[in-house]
A and B are shown apart, each in its own frame.
Chain A
Amino acid sequence: MSVELSQAARGPQKVFTPAEIAALPIDHRIDGIPNQRRHRNANRPVWEESPSTWGMIGKFLILTVVVGLVAIPMWGIVVTSLSDAKTVQEAGGLVLFPKGITFASYAQLLSGGVVAQAAWVSVIVTVTGTVIATVVSALAAYGLSKPGTALHRPILFLFIITMFFSAGLIPTYLWISSLGLRNSLWALILPTCISAFNLLIMRNFFMGIDTGIIEAARIDGASEWKILFSIVMPMSKAVTAVIALFYGVGFWNAFFNAVLYIDDSSKWPLQMVLRQYVLQGQSIPGVDFTVAQGQLNSVSIKMAIMVLAVLPILIVYPFVQKHFTKGVIFGAIKG
């Protein structure tokens, strides 16, 4: 919007050095002059009135509560998992103010035993599954991204149908059992490896790529494989990252397939362990409280398992989060 603000509306001018101007965010630089009024309300259109005091207070309260409902439990879990027995006891179970920080719970859990084993299983399933799922989806998405190619419609249809109708729990269970996948980690990977929804998001993104570049490469003699790996994939990092996150989260959180197919507790993923020892409160074999007594509290151990069950997501999330809108909405809205 190119509305000229009068000098009075801009407020008193301060002289800025070029270095200071360069350091300012781009929307605060108008014709090279940082503007103090715009600095305060950088995004407000000129015609919009300022919110009322009560409106601002109301919004502030709602947002604080909403953010607090998510942030406070997460904070409490992390801090409690890092607290020693004395602090946990004094706080009555949940520690919100860090004191007596110790990594003893994690050391105890990861020194071997059920939880370490389960974490390892989860990592293997997640990494293998995510790599296979993302590669297979990207290939199929590119293969289906040129309308008019042979068999394009029937193959696409084959995927779309799975979004509306599934075989059902019992037939799938019987079939996967008869394939001999019971107590195999492949039972956690293969059945959920392809999501038609993710595939279509990638396909939509690929279809939106400027065909000129692809045509040019084709004229230069590049094969479709070369085009996919050297041109299309590098241009699609955002959407690939988001899709990989979706698949990865799915594999990491896989719980029900483990209930169905994994009887052998040494092959349990972390979510099963979380349910067994934290939600249902069974005692954890391998965690010896008599040794740890005085140093650790069972609440800390439980909270530490909860942190482990969410840790990879917390680590990857900040890097992928900024692509959500760009990557997903683009695909979803066009689709």
Chain B
Amino acid sequence: MTTTHHEPYAGDIPVRRMTLWQKIVRDRTFIIMTIPAVVLIIVFNYIPMIGNIGAFQDYNPYGGITGSPWVGLENFLDVLTSASFANALKNTLLITTFSLLFYFPVPIFLAVLMNSILSTKVRTVVQSVIYLPHFFSWVLVITIFQQFVGGASPLSQWMIRNGDAPLQIMTNPDTFIALVTTQAIWKDAGWGMIIFLAALSTVNPSLYEAAVVDGAGKMRRLWHITLPALRPVIVLLLILRLGDALNVGFEQMYLQRDAVGSGASDVLDTFVYFEGIQYSKWGFALAAGLMKGIVALLLVLGANKLAHRMGEAGVYQKAG
């Protein structure tokens, strides 16, 4: 199976060398194991990438890529000059910024709070309850909000009986951004806590002990031990968030679009969906989607580079 040959500088000791093909034969079982997953990922992730060529065409699905006329960069110019694209981009960036300011700190706060609770029983109960909404679908989360704070909710009914107007929370475009951030916090802040708790569980208790010996009070220990322990995770998650800046809850926006209108709820993803699948402007939607994909990729790579520069591990390690 294996060839042996003599390296001139290795004396008479035979050095075994395998060609790639021989290694493939040797490791065939491992390779066969990956085949189902590889096939799925190629069919459903890689082959569709070819379809992006249609962004440079006046694409129509019946002609396909071979049967559609080429238009060069025209679709991209159309997208960049379109007012609804500008609106979708504005909403996307606004929602990302908003969630960075108001959503991001919540799991950190919750983790520090939970870490200070000594009773394992209380911790288990609280964690079990607040992880739960993470596993709900967006449809359910929005339905829950609608049933509890919507215009037909018991709260609204009670307000009407008292002579007030019913709640407009679910239908007001002006406060929509606060609504979606609140929904995101309700759904995911508890779950977001888990990674910070893990980071805190690795802190060596002797650090706290030493700090106490040096006379550090509670606040000083929080500031000089607990928060620094969270720093790498915070940086990592901030970077992930940055790389993910253009992805803001597709389903969340899509489901509430009817209630608040497209002006407030259109984000890049829903924009692409409505332009392409609803209005059949295929080339236009393909161009918008491709631009979004490329910018998102650059954001991830840039953010990761930033992480390396800051001395953190980043999302993926450098090949080595």
Contact = CB atoms under 8 A, between A and B. Distances in A.
Contacts of A142: 30, 33
Q: What's the dominant secondary structure at chain A's contact region?
A: helix
Contacts, number: 264
Interface in B139-154: 139-140, 142-144, 146-148, 152-154
Contacts of A306: 140, 143-144, 147
Contact of B285 (A42, A165, A170, A224): A170
Contacts of A49: 218
Contacts of A230: none
Contacts of A169: 269, 272-273, 276-277, 289
Contact of B293 (A168, A177, A178, A190): A168
Nearest to B49: A167
Interface stretch (A13-21, A64-72, A209-217): A64-72
A15 B46 CA distance: 71
Interface stretch (B1-9, B83-91, B110-118, B172-180): B110-118
Given A93-B157, A170-B276, A274-B143, A255 B52 contact: no
B45 A167 contact: yes
B139 A168 contact: no
Interface string B9-44: 000000000001001101101111110111011111
Interface string A140-177: 10111010011110010011101011111111111111
A87 to B, nearest CB: 13
Given A139-B33, A199-B37, A69 B143 contact: no
Contacts of B129: 67, 70-71
Interface residues on A, range: 35 or more
B192 interface: no
A140 B198 contact: no
B16 to A, nearest CB: 14
Nearest to B44: A191
B104 interface: no
B144 A47 contact: no
Given A169-B273, A175-B48, 11 more contacts: A51-B116, A152-B30, A168-B290, A170-B51, A172-B48, A194-B41, A253-B138, A274-B139, A279-B143, A317-B135, A325-B197
19 contacts: A63-B117, A74-B132, A93-B154, A136-B36, A149-B31, A151-B31, A155-B34, A166-B45, A167-B45, A168-B293, A170-B286, A172-B44, A174-B48, A190-B43, A253-B136, A259-B254, A306-B143, A324-B131, A325-B198
Interface of A: 1, 41-45, 47-49, 51, 59, 62-63, 66-67, 69-71, 73-74, 76-77, 91-94, 136-137, 139-140, 142-144, 146, 149-152, 155, 158-160, 162, 164-178, 190-191, 193-194, 196, 199, 223-225, 228, 245, 249, 252-253, 255-256, 259-260, 271, 274-275, 278-280, 302-303, 306, 309-310, 313, 317-318, 321, 324-325, 328-329, 332-333
